[in-house]
Chains A and B, each alone.
Chain A
Amino acid sequence: MVRAHKEEVLSVEGLEVVYKTERGPVRAVRGVDLSVREGEILGLVGESGCGKSATLLSIMGLLPPTGRIVAGKIRVGGVDVMALSKKELRSLRGNTVAMVFQDPMSSLNPAHKIGAQMREALEVHGQPYSKDILVRLLQEVGIPSPETVLGYYPHQLSGGMQQRVMIAIALSCRPRLILADEPTTALDVTIEAQILDLLRQINRERGTAIVLVTHNLAVASQFCDRIAVMYAGQIVEEGNVNEVLSNPLHPYTQGLIGCIPRFQKGVPLTPIPGQVADLSEDFVGCAFYPRCRKRDASCATSPQELVHTGTRRVRCHRYGYVEYTETVAGQDWGNE
């Protein structure tokens, strides 16, 4: 697309989300800022409990009853999501922003035929829903013999085909933004590749912006333009995907990359010691400090700001100050 200025379709500022649990409040998202422009694919990457899904659900207004946005602003297509009524929110979902979930089988109603479910989605959003339109939508996502598939129940389709149906439904109202939460995690690699190709094609042809939540750095590296790495409810590093992965600045990003087998013989894995941070705890300093190989004494006590450096954002106070490759000697890393 040749457009000088691409409009911002999503902006998140200072988002904070708290879940109520039996063990007390869990601060799942702790001040997330994001911006996604038309035609862009942003990857939200991190391990379980880093807040990536909670961020996505907040944007859709789909947090479970136990979850609450306690601070921040979310704008989708320039509209303040949090100021919308339920009805307005429902209209925003689908028309401006649509979501694709991890498990298509549990997102589709097993008792209704594919055609009926698609028709319902279109009807709710006041769109025409003739059979020809449904057939065309299924064709667009690469489903063979769409007329037949309209009469199928979800269980008659493979996981990959179910996910294609979900994407067809998501596309039915021509959203400007697709939020995809681990859309290929439940699928085999060959099918995963097909689904990612399909999403990329939609992005290229229609300029639909995509936010992809994934735990898989390799998937992000091949699919996204930009990635934001999250840890303990915060973005710790953000930038162009190739820059971040070829020259990671945050010790956590560096650690994640060291954990992934690289298809090269004899390259050992260097695990990150310890466990993912517990979000029911509060951190004064850096949340990654207990596992960091590059920490110093002040990391435990000084709050970390997300600092802009060129095209990158990094949340590590040692970045830029200290010779960054040194490690602290004599530490006992233990195992967990």
Chain B
Amino acid sequence: MSLKSNGQPRVPLVQTVGLKRYFHSKPGILARALAGEKERTVKAVDGVDLFVHEGETLGLVGESGCGKSTLGRVIVGLYPPTAGEVFYEGRPGTGGQMIFQNPYASLNPRHTVRQILGVALEKRGVPLENREEESIRLLERVGLAAHHLDQYPRQFSGGQRQRIGIARALAMRPRFIVADEPVSALDVSVQAQILNLLEGLQEETGVSFLLISHDLGVVHHMSHRVAVMYLGRIAETGPTESLFENPAHPYTRALLSAIPRLGKTRSGRIRLEGSVPSAVDPPPGCRFQTRCRHRKDICAAVDPPAVELRGDPGHVVWCHLHT
């Protein structure tokens, strides 16, 4: 996917600039008095610049607690940012729809499919008399049928529930969807059905996805570009092939080498010692420096700047090794 058309930089559909989202936890009076607990600030997202173009899928990968879900939620407007800004369609503001990991928890168990879709269609301003027809059209688009309209979520399998979640997102005719681990809760055989459905929707409508996943195989398969997140920050981003074949950040290299791949013996794996530090008190400078085997003095002192790799447009790494 070219990032420019007619030699002019395209305006991204979605963009974040210096985006931060902190969570404050204030312990109760007893915990403060007896256990001496202090107020804590979790820096879930701590300065993220990224963009998603029209018709594009950006895969967002990282280990649990790296802030990828929080980032997705800030971008669609579920959480306000602590600092920085989100631009949607070139203007400040959030937008887009969301597909959640757990289709069991994200559908109201007391609502029928008709009601679930109806709420979204009402929000879009579809008149009452057209909603049934529109709902059926949405169901058929995601591989369900009219006879499912008056059923409740519990009457569906996991894969079917995720289809309902997708239909609900589509009801808003979004140009952008954040899909947060959309297949992690599903069986392998059903995962592929949902992934193909999402790909088909993109081909048909040109919708953009921010695909959040810990499954690097899924991300490789679905994404045009990939961003790797570590402890609240982006470590590296680039076109999928280039990032997977030529990872530049020591964390990306370790992460990619740890993936179990079918029929490939694990060779040359980079062992990553220890585990991810706490986002309450992230290390200064490069977030990865405490586990990095290439660490230099500067890594703990200075935030690494973004560096675009030579001869690899769009492949950007935040690492002092490359400055």
Contact = CB atoms under 8 A, between A and B. Distances in A.
A259 interface: yes
A292 B117 CA distance: 33
A120 B192 CA distance: 45
Nearest to B275: A158
B272 A221 contact: no
Interface stretch (B11-19, B50-58, B182-190): B182-190
B64 A188 contact: yes
B261 interface: yes
B159 interface: yes
A271 B217 contact: no
B157 interface: yes
Contact of A215 (B188, B192, B218, B263): B188
Interface stretch (A10-18, A23-31, A261-269): A261-269
Contacts of B218: 261
Interface in A240-275: 242, 245-246, 255-263, 265, 268-273, 275
B160 interface: yes
A219 interface: yes
Given A189-B63, A222-B265, A261-B220, A336 B258 contact: no
Given A190-B255, A193-B266, A263-B220, A272 B272 contact: no
B37 interface: no
A225 interface: no
B87 interface: no
* Chain A residues touching B, range: 35 or more
**B192, B220, B259, B265 — which one has the most chain A CB atoms within 10 A of its CB?**
B192
Interface string A174-212: 000000000000001111111010000000000000000
A222 B196 contact: no
B263 A276 contact: no
A262 B262 contact: yes
B203 interface: no
A259 B262 CA distance: 12
Contacts, number: 121
A272 B275 contact: no
Contacts of B275: 158, 160-161, 191
Interface string B251-283: 000110011111111100101100110000000
Given A190-B255, A194-B271, A221 B260 contact: yes
B188 A259 contact: yes
A87 B82 CA distance: 59
B258 A276 contact: no
A260 B255 CA distance: 19
A256 B191 CA distance: 10
B143 interface: yes
A190 B191 CA distance: 22
B220 A218 contact: no
B122 interface: no
**A218, A223, A269 — which one has the most chain B CB atoms within 10 A of its CB?**
A269
A137 interface: no
B217 A262 contact: yes
Nearest to B65: A188
B63 A188 contact: yes
Contacts of B157: 275, 336
B265 A193 contact: no
B221 interface: yes
A302 interface: no
A189 B187 contact: no
A171 to B, nearest CB: 21
Given A190-B254, A193-B258, A194-B271, A260 B159 contact: no
B258 A257 contact: no
Interface in A125-180: 158, 160-161
B216 interface: yes
Interface in B114-145: 143-144
Nearest to A50: B187
A96 interface: no
A217 interface: yes
A323 B255 CA distance: 42
Nearest to B218: A261
Interface in B193-213: 193, 195-196
Given A194-B272, A221-B262, 19 more contacts: A160-B275, A188-B63, A188-B64, A189-B214, A189-B216, A190-B254, A190-B272, A192-B258, A193-B258, A193-B269, A222-B264, A259-B192, A261-B220, A269-B195, A271-B189, A276-B187, A276-B190, A335-B163, A336-B157
Closest 7 pairs (CB-CB, A-B): A335-B143, A261-B221, A271-B192, A261-B217, A259-B192, A188-B63, A272-B189
13 contacts: A48-B187, A190-B254, A191-B63, A191-B275, A193-B266, A194-B271, A223-B260, A256-B188, A260-B217, A261-B195, A271-B189, A271-B193, A336-B163
Interface of B: 63-64, 143-144, 157, 159-160, 163, 187-193, 195-196, 214, 216-218, 220-221, 240-241, 244, 254-255, 258-266, 269, 271-272, 275-276
Interface of A: 47-48, 158, 160-161, 188-194, 196, 215-219, 221-223, 242, 245-246, 255-263, 265, 268-273, 275-276, 291, 334-336
